[in-house]
């Protein structure tokens, strides 16, 4: 599977057609990839609703299909030949023949299903999944440029993709730009259940609550007095804010082991936020929960 070419002008996929160019633009072109033909007219109200939505769906398909728009008032021949009775009427051509179609304005979900049926429904989705995987791999390798490019590419295909939104926010977080990360994650719904979105929001919550002061100073205080739970708690917050979630979990678990009820169980509560920030299936969360259970139920 190859990625859709992000450098290709998407407007090349959308063309104003004519009777004179129908054979080349539709019939011949459909022998190499599906071509959608939108029969419309300037006086048609539903056409003004359908055509922009259809253009959006074709762009989202990232080269899987082409769209040819034909004004039937200026170009009536093929509309008559295909027995277009009302507009908008949409036909899909494959291998030089009309294979599917519909009439009237339809919702975006139906347009997507129409295009998916033409393309096998796998091309763009497969690209999106591969790009998301590439972004995650780049993040793991600390290749922020590669990660940003992959997640941005997904968002150009699916602007509402919550995993890509969270991925871009993580890139900004890794670069120390918490403000841009907050603006980016705000693109996701407030009630999002996507784990990646929840993880970023938890990381931002940890960053915003981090105390002012260097970790080295806090580490020195803890070393001088291992029972200074406030210093260890502050150290955990600083560690979490810098991305050291394992270190933060270790510090908080040390507090719980020494005094589980300290400061109204503040360490245990903060641990849950750290686990959420790390991700439910991460080693930090799984190992941390196991150790927490051992402490609480020993």
* Residues identified as active-site: 44, 47
Residue 129 neighbours by CB under 8 Å, 6+ apart: none
Give the DSSP per-residue string, 14-79: EEE--TTTHIIIIIIGGGTS-EEEEEE-TT-HHHHHHHHHHHHHHHHTTTS-EEEEEETTT--HHH
Q: Where are the beta strands (DSSP E) in 44-184?
A: 66-71, 89-94, 97-103
Residue 191 per-residue DSSP state: T
237 within 8 A of 270, measured Cβ to Cβ: yes
Residue 28 neighbours by CB under 8 Å, 6+ apart: 96
Sheet bearing 35-40, strands edge to edge:
14-16, 66-71, 35-40, 89-94, 97-103
Tokens of 41: 């007219």
Torsion of CA 280, 247, 234, 271, to 10 degrees: 20
Torsion of CA 95, 98, 102, 105, to 10 degrees: 70
Backbone angles phi, psi at 57, to 5 degrees: -65, -35
84 within 8 A of 39, measured Cβ to Cβ: yes
Buried residues in 245-278 as b, exposed as e (16+ CB within 10 A): bbbbbbbbbbbbeeeeebeeebbbebbebbbbbb
């Amino acid at each position: 599977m190859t990625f859709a070419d992000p450098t290709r002008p998407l407007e090349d996929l959308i063309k104003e057609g004519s009777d004179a160019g129908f054979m080349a633009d539709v019939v011949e072109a459909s022998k190499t990839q599906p071509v959608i033909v939108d029969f419309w007219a300037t006086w048609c109200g539903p056409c003004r609703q359908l055509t922009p939505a259809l253009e959006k769906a074709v762009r989202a398909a990232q080269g899987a299909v082409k769209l040819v728009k034909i004004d039937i008032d200026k170009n009536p021949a093929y509309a008559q030949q295909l027995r277009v009775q009302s507009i908008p009427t949409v036909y899909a051509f494959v291998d030089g023949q009309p294979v599917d179609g519909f009439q009237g304005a339809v919702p975006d979900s139906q347009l997507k299903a129409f295009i998916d049926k033409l393309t096998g429904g796998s091309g763009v989705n497969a690209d999106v999944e591969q790009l998301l995987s590439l972004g995650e791999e780049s993040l793991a390798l600390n290749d922020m440029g590669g990660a940003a490019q992959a997640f941005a590419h997904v968002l150009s295909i699916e602007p509402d993709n919550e995993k890509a939104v969270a991925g871009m926010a993580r890139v900004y977080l890794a670069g120390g730009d918490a403000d841009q990360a907050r603006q980016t994650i705000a693109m996701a719904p407030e009630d999002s259940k996507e784990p990646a979105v929840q993880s970023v929001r938890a990381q931002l919550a940890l960053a915003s609550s981090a105390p002012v002061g260097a970790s080295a100073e806090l580490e020195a205080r803890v070393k001088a007095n291992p029972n200074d739970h406030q210093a260890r708690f502050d150290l955990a917050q600083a560690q979490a804010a810098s991305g050291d979630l394992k270190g933060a979990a270790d510090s908080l678990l040390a507090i719980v082991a020494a005094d589980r009820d300290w400061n109204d169980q503040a360490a245990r509560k903060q641990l849950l936020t750290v686990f959420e920030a790390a991700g439910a299936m991460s080693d930090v969360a799984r190992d941390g929960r196991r150790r927490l259970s051992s402490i609480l139920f020993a």
